[in-house]
């Protein structure tokens, strides 16, 4: 089977040659440390799938960065120029201050952050451009016009041919944006939390504007007749004790727009819709399912002990799962790694589940441990069937 067939079969509980072998990339610092441990410096986050013998996954999400996620020799680079549902134009990234081991940066979303030069996974917010209705309508709302031609690839006809190709061997996933997470980033958590109570009409206007942009862009893409295997959403709206937006507000403000999006996708044959949300998602999972979002990616284990096996018992085959391998185990001993691989094996065999590290692989994971993990999953989950070479060797 090819990667496209394997993904579709797995997500629909159909027979397949094996489970997809994938990962969710790495911290930049992880690779820097792995170079010192023997990883060839030619390997980076954009071509690591080839070196580590993986099926593609995140590199097939159709965003403005799609072409950057493929190797130069890959023919996809010439035909996936990208489709973008977020801010257009983005803000100019600027280094505002050098603080020695950190920098104050204006990001492409207009937010000013303090970013460490090393171990910089999550920058600290310093200030926000979006502070009230006036700044929303001046700086952000105009950047969410679905008809802006800069959202679409310059080689549109070539892209459409690829999207419609029934013989294409790799999946392509649409990107459905973020109905809450972006606003939380643009304003900061405290400000958006207050807006929900102090000015709910404004919060609803922001959510609706984003949803209108996403749906407008994806409608144009889907009406080409393109065949897409899934749609990806990003929210990161949960923390270690639960959601940042209460279930009652989630149901009021977000569910109707998720449903608008999933109805559109279903009309065009896209029936796998995943959301990337860190944290303890338990209170929101049933609401996402009701809204047609049927896949969680990645299930983050965290201090709260989320467990993909338990989610399958609770929701059955209605809930598709990607992730769920505790990244902290990768930093432990090889026996611990092998035990977790085998614990998740029945779920892998059942289908509707793609096991991978529950977030980007952190820098405390030794390269030798990670290679051992890959050998285990290739043997136990992949049954050594139709695998790509691992680390340049068979």
Domains and CATH numbers, the chain: 3-87+130-380 (3.20.20.210), 92-128 (no CATH)
Query: What average pLDDT does this structure show over 330-348?
Result: 97
Q: Worst-scoring range by mean pLDDT, 100-104, 138-142, 309-313?
A: 100-104
Mean model confidence pLDDT for the chain = 92
How far is it, in rounded angstroms, from Cα 176 to Cα 171?
Answer: 16
Whether pLDDT at 373 is above 70: yes
pLDDT of amino acid 122: 77
Query: What average pLDDT does this structure show over 1-5?
Result: 95
% of the chain exceeding 70 in pLDDT = 93
How far is it, in rounded angstroms, from Cα 366 to Cα 377?
Answer: 17
How far is it, in rounded angstroms, from Cα 258 to Cα 80?
Answer: 26
How far is it, in rounded angstroms, from Cα 344 to Cα 322?
Answer: 12
Task: Output 10 or 75, whichever has higher pLDDT.
Answer: 10
Single pTM value for the model: 0.93
Residues in the chain: 394
Query: What average pLDDT does this structure show over 158-173?
Result: 92
The band of 347, judged by pLDDT with boundaries at 50, 70 and 90, is very high
From its phi and psi, is residue 185 left (phi > 0), alpha (psi between -120 and 50) or beta?
A: alpha
- H/E segment holding residue 370: helix 367-380
Whether pLDDT at 65 is above 80: no
pLDDT of amino acid 74: 47
pLDDT of amino acid 119: 62
Q: Worst-scoring range by mean pLDDT, 115-124, 348-357, 371-380?
A: 115-124
Tens of pLDDT along 14-30?
A: 999 999 999 988 988 89
How far is it, in rounded angstroms, from Cα 113 to Cα 111?
Answer: 6
How far is it, in rounded angstroms, from Cα 25 to Cα 361?
Answer: 7
Structure token digits, residue 222: 């889907």
Task: Output 58 or 369, whichever has higher pLDDT.
Answer: 369
- Count Cβ atoms below 10 Å from residue 148 Cβ, excluding itself: 15
How far is it, in rounded angstroms, from Cα 390 to Cα 394?
Answer: 6
- R_g (Cα) of the chain, nearest Å: 21
Strand partners, 234: 276
How far is it, in rounded angstroms, from Cα 174 to Cα 84?
Answer: 10
- Count Cβ atoms below 10 Å from residue 318 Cβ, excluding itself: 11
Tens of pLDDT along 272-307?
A: 999 999 999 999 999 999 999 999 998 999 999 999
- Count Cβ atoms below 10 Å from residue 181 Cβ, excluding itself: 20
Whether pLDDT at 31 is above 70: yes
- H/E segment holding residue 23: none
Query: What average pLDDT does this structure show over 365-377?
Result: 97
pLDDT of amino acid 70: 38
Whether pLDDT at 116 is above 90: no
Burial class (CB in 10 A: 0-12, 13-18, 19+), 36: exposed
């Amino acid at each position: 089977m090819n990667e496209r067939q394997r993904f579709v079969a797995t997500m629909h509980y159909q027979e397949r040659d094996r489970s997809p072998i994938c990962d969710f990339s790495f911290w930049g610092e992880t690779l820097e440390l792995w170079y010192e441990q023997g990883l060839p410096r030619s390997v980076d986050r954009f071509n690591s799938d080839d070196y580590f013998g993986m099926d593609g996954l995140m590199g097939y999400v159709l965003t403005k960065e799609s072409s950057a996620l493929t190797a130069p020799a890959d023919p996809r680079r010439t035909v996936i120029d990208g489709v973008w549902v977020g801010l257009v134009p983005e803000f100019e990234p600027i280094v505002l201050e050098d603080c020695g081991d950190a920098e104050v940066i204006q990001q492409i979303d207009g937010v000013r952050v303090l970013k460490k030069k090393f171990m910089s996974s999550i920058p600290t917010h310093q200030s926000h451009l979006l502070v009230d209705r006036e700044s929303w309508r001046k700086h952000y709302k105009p950047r969410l016009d679905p008809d802006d031609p800069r959202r679409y690839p310059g080689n549109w006809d070539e892209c459409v041919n690829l999207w419609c190709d029934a013989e294409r061997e790799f999946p392509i996933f649409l990107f459905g944006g973020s109905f809450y997470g972006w606003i939380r980033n643009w304003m900061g958590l405290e400000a958006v939390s207050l807006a929900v109570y102090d000015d709910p009409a404004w919060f609803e206007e922001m959510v609706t504007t984003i949803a209108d942009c996403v749906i407008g862009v994806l409608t144009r893409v889907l009406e080409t007749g393109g065949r897409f295997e899934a749609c990806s959403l990003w929210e990161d709206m949960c923390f270690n004790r639960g959601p940042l937006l209460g279930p009652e507000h989630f149901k009021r403000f977000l569910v109707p727009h998720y449903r608008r999006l999933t109805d559109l996708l279903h009309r065009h044959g896209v029936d796998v819709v995943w959301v990337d949300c860190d944290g303890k998602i338990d209170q929101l999972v049933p609401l996402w399912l009701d809204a047609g979002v049927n896949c969680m990616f990645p299930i983050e284990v965290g201090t709260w002990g989320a467990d993909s096996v338990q989610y399958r018992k609770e929701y059955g085959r209605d809930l598709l799962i990607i992730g769920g391998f505790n990244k902290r185990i990768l930093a432990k001993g090889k026996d611990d790694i092998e035990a977790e691989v085998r614990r998740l094996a029945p779920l892998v065999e059942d289908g509707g589940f793609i096991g991978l590290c529950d977030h980007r692989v952190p820098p405390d994971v030794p390269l030798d441990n990670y290679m051992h993990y890959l050998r285990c999953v290739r043997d136990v989950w992949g049954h050594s069937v139709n695998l790509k070479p691992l680390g340049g060797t068979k």
